[in-house]
Chain A
Amino acid sequence: MSMDYMLSEEELMMVETARTIAAEKIKPIRRQYDEEEIFPWNIVKEFAQADLCGVYIPESYGGFGKGIMGLVLVVEELCKVDGGIALALASTALGALPILIAGTEEQKKKYLPNIASGKHLAAFGLTEASAGSDATAIMTTAIKDGDYYILNGTKHFITNGGEAQVYTVFAKTNPDKGARGISGFIIEKGTPGFEFGKKESKMGIRASATRELIFNNCKIHKDQLLGKEGHGLLVVQATLDKSRPGVAAQALGIAAGALEEAVIYARKRVQFNQPISSFQGIQHILADMATEVEAARALLYSCTRMIDSGKSKRTSKESAMSKYYCSEVAMRVTTNAVQVLGGYGYCKDYPVEKMMRDAKITTLYEGTSQIQKNEIALNLIKESAARNK
């Protein structure tokens, strides 16, 4: 049981709905989907039917209008049971946020209702083989040709790649201008010149598809430009400010799920004629896990409320803090859960082995923990400089 965060009735409704789907639909298949790397289309249908796909999308575009908090609560609850399957929904949010942030009214009306209803998944295409933490190093180009842009290049490690219908892709429209020469585009699956490449086989989140996006003279109408030309990196930064809490929620959910499994196991596992939960050595591990999970939740929810209030223009520091802390907690807590379960925890018959594998990605994607610390420190210094000129 977590602390009382004074969630509204509608927020509790979202949590309860996500919990029901996780327990009834995801739990029975999570191991098979992980082992066989099955993309969870049948679970996406459940998300869609229950209206979960659009929790963060405004009601005017067919969503439930509950902001980033809505997304965070749903992702956390789903990830308590499975940290990979929820990504069909969570990574769609990452792909849809650039449209919400920088899209024109026409673009929003064209794409968001289908995403909110669950008819379409979305994906975010920034990373390339040689451009991970350094987004300015992307090589994909979008060269203007009349009313069109011609895209060439390959995006790497794209979550929902191949499965999604809508892609928000970033490319260099002016390679000479560096960070200010990058622009965003909305590209639909099936556009001539847009193909999918290698699907990665991963340590964790194996029910989530990670693929290459290959652009080969892909002709995109200028109406698909996202925001102004050259403003692509600003859109990326604004997107990450809102999407990193989603990764944090994934991490928190995985950690909370592992904690629950560890406590249940410790109460039942008998050694030396008593449940191992009676040993202080185990109790202290569980106490550390629980305290870190709750601290992570408090930080994440506070950050998310700050984003949704709209009072601060930028929330880069707070988003980075929540993502950094929750993901590192997820690694520690899942590792400790395996420790509490001992040899059983290391085996696939118990879910904590998978939770530990799933947790690792949260310290890597949408910026590694080290990049989050850069972001936090940079903002600290900027804030101090602004106060103490």
Chain B
Amino acid sequence: MNIVVCIKQVPKSDNIQLDEQTGKIKRDGVEAVLNHCDEYAIEEAVRLKEKLPAKVIAVTMGPPSAQSILREAISRGADEGFLLSDKAFGGADVLATAYTLSQGIKTICSANIIICGKESSDGETSQVAPALAHFLNVACVPFVNKIDSIDSSAIKLERVFENGYAVIESTLPVLISVTKDINIPRIASLKGKMNAKKAEIKTLDISAINADENRTGLTGSPTRVANMFSAGNAHPVSCEKLTGDAKSMAKSLVEKLSAAGII
């Protein structure tokens, strides 16, 4: 069984800066790390590998420096890492990213399960996973917080909603995106780190994955950022501390919320 984990290199979350001209995140010269949600995707793939005979293949699209997150995935238990890297992939939105990833995955292996993190800490769209499932023409279950059972042909899992969860059974192949509740990612072992150090990361360019250049990168991206603003500046916040006993504070809070039209 082949389990593909899609991962992303993102700017370290305490260091995100925006380009005010383009509305995009500045990536040059900013420390880049493995997207936090993807740690859970890798862990879940490795846990499945420990139950089944399976190979875990980590895939990312990014610049050559994104090799480092593939090595991190290997240090956490993935078997192989593939980097989809080409100047023609730069500036991709959700659509172009999902298309490029799908071409890469089709080139690499016949995937039985594709696992993505719930979202990336930079884009936060949660849309790449379903779009990728579309391009791969496989079933899609987003926001999975538990895998109940799996065998070589089917999977049973729990998908969370705001007010509950659904138990879903799917045949394979399937694409899932996982939440942070699904597991506690392991700390990379020394032997894993040694494997990662020695591992050969295979780089695939646009011709290797047989992709249409009109559908990749900025050219293949219909999304344009119309406007960008800091939420803090748009809605100035003022704070007030209520004092007194619980009853009087509750009364005062109700009055203030009513006056503000919130309740």
Contacts and interface: CB of A to CB of B under 8 A. Distances in A.
Contacts, number: 33
Interface string A8-28: 011001100100110011000
Interface stretch (A49-57, A102-110, A119-127, A147-155): A49-57
A106 to B, nearest CB: 26
Contact of A14 (B186, B190, B197): B190
A46 B191 contact: no
A17 B197 contact: no
B187 A13 contact: no
A111 interface: no
Interface residues of A, number: 16
A17 B186 contact: no
Contacts of A194: none
A271 to B, nearest CB: 26
B190 A51 contact: yes
A216 to B, nearest CB: 41
A64 interface: yes
A17 B194 CA distance: 12
A51 B192 CA distance: 9
Is the contact region of chain A dominated by helix, strand, or loop, or is it mixed? helix
Contacts of B197: 9
Nearest to A54: B190
A49 B190 contact: no
A24 B197 CA distance: 23
A9 B188 CA distance: 15
Nearest to A52: B190
A77 to B, nearest CB: 13
A14 B188 CA distance: 11
Contacts of A46: 187
B13 interface: no
B186 A49 contact: yes
A19 to B, nearest CB: 10
B186 A51 contact: no
Contact of B187 (A9, A10, A17): A17
Contacts of A17: 187-190, 193
A17 to B, nearest CB: 6
Interface in B179-218: 186-191, 193-194, 197
A14 to B, nearest CB: 6
Nearest to B197: A9
Contacts of B187: 17, 20-21, 24-25, 46, 49-50
A47 to B, nearest CB: 10
A55 B190 contact: yes
Interface string A53-80: 0010000000010000000000000000
A256 B123 CA distance: 39
Contact of B189 (A9, A10, A25, A49): A49
A69 B210 CA distance: 50
Of A10, A50, A64, chain B has the most CB atoms within 10 Å of the CB of: A50
Contacts of A10: 190, 194
Contacts of A64: 190-191
Contacts of A21: 187
Interface in A338-355: none
30 contacts: A9-B197, A10-B190, A10-B194, A13-B190, A13-B193, A14-B190, A17-B187, A17-B189, A17-B190, A17-B193, A20-B187, A20-B188, A24-B187, A25-B187, A46-B187, A49-B186, A49-B187, A49-B189, A50-B186, A50-B187, A50-B188, A50-B189, A50-B190, A51-B189, A51-B190, A51-B191, A52-B190, A55-B190, A64-B190, A64-B191
The 4 A-B residue pairs whose C-beta atoms are closest, nearest first, are A51-B190, A51-B189, A50-B189, A13-B193
Given A14-B190, A51-B191, 12 more contacts: A13-B190, A13-B193, A17-B188, A17-B189, A17-B193, A20-B188, A24-B187, A46-B187, A49-B186, A50-B189, A51-B189, A55-B190
Interface of B: 186-191, 193-194, 197
Interface of A: 9-10, 13-14, 17, 20-21, 24-25, 46, 49-52, 55, 64
